[in-house]
Amino acid sequence: MSKKESAWTRFAAWVNGEHEPAESRLFSMGMGPRKERRPEITLPKREEKQRLHGFLSWYPVASAVIGVILVGILLATVLAMPSFGQVENPTNNEVPAHYLQHTREETGASNAVAGMILNYRGFDTFGESCVLFLAVSCVFILLLRDENNTSQKDLEQAQRREQRRKRRQDVILQEAARLLSPFILLFGAYMLLGGHHSPGGGFSGGAVLGGALILYASAFGQDAIRRFFNEKVYNTVRVIGLMLYAVLFGYYIFTGANGLENHIPLDYGGLILPIDIAVGLVVACTMYGFYAMFTRGEL
């Protein structure tokens, strides 16, 4: 194509409203770089976009239908259950009576509630402990700050926030935490170790221990608590707590299902006491892990 024809072509395009951008004209005249044009949407991409639009248009309707079906199933199940409080219901006759009469001799715990949730229904409680473990693990995945997901600017901002927090430390809070933290830890350990004979147990004792850690970290900062409870110790404690529960209750199920003799004495609570300790460790680590991740993004 000659220069005359090229100029005429550009003039005709300009008349028809199809003029090129300034950068393209400069490039054609050798006076500047030419930007790459965006590729047009091809037919397969257009079809994918249409399918995605169709899926998103039907998604709310499908979600509503599935929700209605699930609600209908739950309502039908509730209506099929025996009426509450009827004398003929087996749950009002056999199960509570068995728990109250045989908890001491079968579990070694004088606290019927602890015997029920940690022995008779220990598998459910193990599932709850797994939920807590997975919940704090997901929070770690989302909020844990490391070199792979944190820029230098974010690190500098976090350091400045920590310096401002240190300058604004409350003396009253520090003195109260220094005085109360040992007693709170002692009371949490008491609830944890005596839950099979008195009100308390793994969940309540672990919550008290986690609250003591949060109070100490709020008063003195996470740098102070990291001296004895760093990330390595934290992960070790929570993994050991969950694995201890799994091993102990697995041993109890195996021996009971196969008619084998259980060699763990019941004088001091049997399996209830070590399981209480395991649950307490998981609960305490969960509470402190949530606090640490949401406040600072690290342990």
**Dihedral pair phi/psi, residue 290, rounded to 5°:** -60, -45
Residue 290 confidence (pLDDT): 94
- Inter-helix orientation angle 272-295/122-143, to 10°: 20
> What is the Cα–Cα distance from 75 to 116, expressed in whole angstroms?
28
> What is the Cα–Cα distance from 283 to 277, expressed in whole angstroms?
10
Amino acid found at 128: E
Residue 147 confidence (pLDDT): 66
Q: In the predicted model, what is the mean pLDDT of the chain?
A: 80
Q: What is the pLDDT of residues 170-185, one digit of tens each?
A: 888 889 999 999 999 9
Q: What is the pLDDT of residues 5-26, one digit of tens each?
A: 555 566 555 545 454 444 444 4
List the chain domain ranges: 1-33, 43-79, 112-295
- pLDDT surpassing 90 at residue 246: yes
User: What mean pLDDT is predicted for residues 240-267?
Assistant: 84
Residue 236 confidence (pLDDT): 94
> What is the Cα–Cα distance from 284 to 46, expressed in whole angstroms?
52
The sign of the dihedral angle between the CA atoms of 73, 117, 257, 96 is: negative
What end-to-end distance do the CA atoms of the chain give, in Å? 70
Q: What is the DSSP letter of 229?
A: S
Whether the CB-CB separation of 115 and 196 falls below 8 Å is answered with yes
User: CB under 8 Å to 107, separation ≥6 — which residues?
Assistant: 115, 118, 119, 120, 196, 266, 269, 270, 271, 272
> What is the Cα–Cα distance from 94 to 100, expressed in whole angstroms?
10
User: CB under 8 Å to 215, separation ≥6 — which residues?
Assistant: 177, 180, 181, 184
- DSSP string for 170-207: -HHHHHHHHHHHHHHHHHHHHHHHSTTTSS--HHHHHH
Say whether pTM exceeds 0.75: no
Residue 207 confidence (pLDDT): 94
> What is the Cα–Cα distance from 76 to 64, expressed in whole angstroms?
18
Q: What is the pLDDT of residues 183-197, one digit of tens each?
A: 999 999 999 888 888
Q: What is the pLDDT of residues 45-93, one digit of tens each?
A: 677 777 777 777 788 888 899 999 999 999 998 888 877 767 777 666 6
